[in-house]
């Protein structure tokens, strides 16, 4: 599934589709975001309400129009967002990572971390999993999931990242760095948690040493890690001519284009009865 979504993301990026920037409107106690995208088959708009004082603090929904049949579909978008974000990270790892096998470190133990565990195990050769999460119970549940997938798994409790780690995913709400400055190489880091200009999951020194890539140019204004950083390449350019580096950071903040890719990849399961309008 994740590889299928990743391939759709690759295809849409290489097509050069340019959906408009997201719109962010202030609302009492938070923000309301709208994110449209369309191709020759689907037109969609993702609506996200962010209210920090509520639980859950983020609610996402997706309206999708099938342009061939005229039917309109409404989905709660949380699970789809998790899947497309993990598939995007997988595509970046397959394109940019110095190696395609080794141990995986998940910093954060929520649903995004779980989706990344599934995605990386589907597309890469993962030997062992390390987990660190703010809630110990959540982290233990994620470890059990990894063990149920046949992996060796344990908590990351020290300050030094184990030398066998070749992939790191940071999926937290922390506004400050969650990794040490010194890291083993070769290494691929997928940073998916922070998404505002004042937040930084990755230390500044790591960002300066690494080859840095982003999901779309919008990330250059939105992601704290990328503020003032030069030489950051969008993933689309890397797909055309993949560079090689021993330390790679891929920063993603999300985009409706990736929701469109997920809808295309999963259309027949999302919309039962798609019938003769099925994608080819």
Average pLDDT over every residue of 238-254: 94
**Could you tell me how many residues make up the chain?**
280
Which numeric CATH code is attached to 2-80+257-277? 3.30.1780.10
94-129 residue pLDDT tens: 999 999 999 999 999 999 999 999 999 999 999 899
Lowest average pLDDT, out of 14-18, 41-45, 120-124, 128-132, goes to 14-18
158-172 residue pLDDT tens: 899 999 999 999 998
pLDDT on residue 58: 80
Is the pLDDT reported for residue 132 higher than 50? yes
Buried (b) or exposed (e) across 57-66, using 16+ Cβ within 10 A?
Answer: eeebebebbb
Where is 230: in which H helix or E strand? none
Average pLDDT over every residue of 170-189: 94
Closest of 154, 172, 160 to residue 109, by C-alpha = 172
210: tokens are 């690494």
What is the domain partition of the chain in residue ranges? 2-80+257-277, 87-254
Annotation: CATH topology of 87-254: Rossmann fold (3.40.50)
97: tokens are 């990572």
Average pLDDT over every residue of 7-34: 91
Is the pLDDT reported for residue 174 higher than 90? no
Average pLDDT over every residue of 219-248: 92
Cα–Cα separations (whole angstroms), residue 160 to 163, 178, 194: 9, 12, 22
Going by C-beta distance under 8 Å and a sequence separation of 6 or more, which residues neighbour residue 250? 89, 92, 93, 96, 188, 189, 190, 191, 212, 213, 214, 215, 235
Q: What is the pTM of this model?
A: 0.93
pLDDT on residue 54: 82
Going by C-beta distance under 8 Å and a sequence separation of 6 or more, which residues neighbour residue 47? 32, 33, 34, 35, 60, 61, 62, 63
């Amino acid at each position: 599934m994740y590889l299928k979504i990743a391939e759709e993301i690759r295809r849409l990026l290489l097509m050069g589709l340019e959906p408009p920037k997201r719109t962010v409107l202030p609302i009492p106690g938070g923000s309301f975001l709208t994110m449209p995208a369309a191709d020759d088959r689907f037109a969609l708009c993702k609506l996200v309400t962010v209210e920090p004082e509520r639980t859950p603090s983020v609610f996402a929904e997706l309206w999708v129009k099938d342009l061939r049949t005229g039917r309109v579909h409404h989905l709660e978008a949380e699970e789809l967002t998790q899947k497309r974000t993990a598939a995007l990270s997988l595509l970046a790892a397959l394109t940019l990572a110095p190696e395609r096998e080794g141990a995986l470190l998940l910093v954060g133990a929520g649903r995004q971390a779980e989706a990344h565990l599934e995605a990386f195990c589907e597309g890469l050769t993962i030997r062992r999993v390390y987990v660190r999460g703010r809630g110990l119970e959540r982290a233990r549940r994620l470890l059990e999931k990894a063990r149920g997938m046949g992996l060796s798994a344990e908590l990351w409790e020290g300050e030094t990242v184990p030398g066998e780690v070749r992939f790191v995913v940071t999926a937290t709400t922390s506004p400050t760095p969650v990794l040490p400055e010194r890291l083993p190489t070769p290494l691929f880091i997928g940073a998916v948690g922070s998404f505002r200009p004042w937040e930084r999951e990755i230390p500044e020194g790591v960002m300066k040493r690494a080859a840095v890539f982003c999901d779309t140019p919008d990330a250059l204004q939105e992601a704290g890690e990328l503020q003032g950083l030069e030489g950051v390449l969008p993933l689309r350019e890397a797909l055309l001519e993949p560079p090689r580096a021993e330390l790679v950071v891929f920063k993603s903040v999300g985009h409706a284009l990736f929701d469109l890719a997920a809808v295309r990849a999963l259309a027949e399961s999302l919309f039962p009865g798609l019938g003769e309008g099925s994608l080819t």
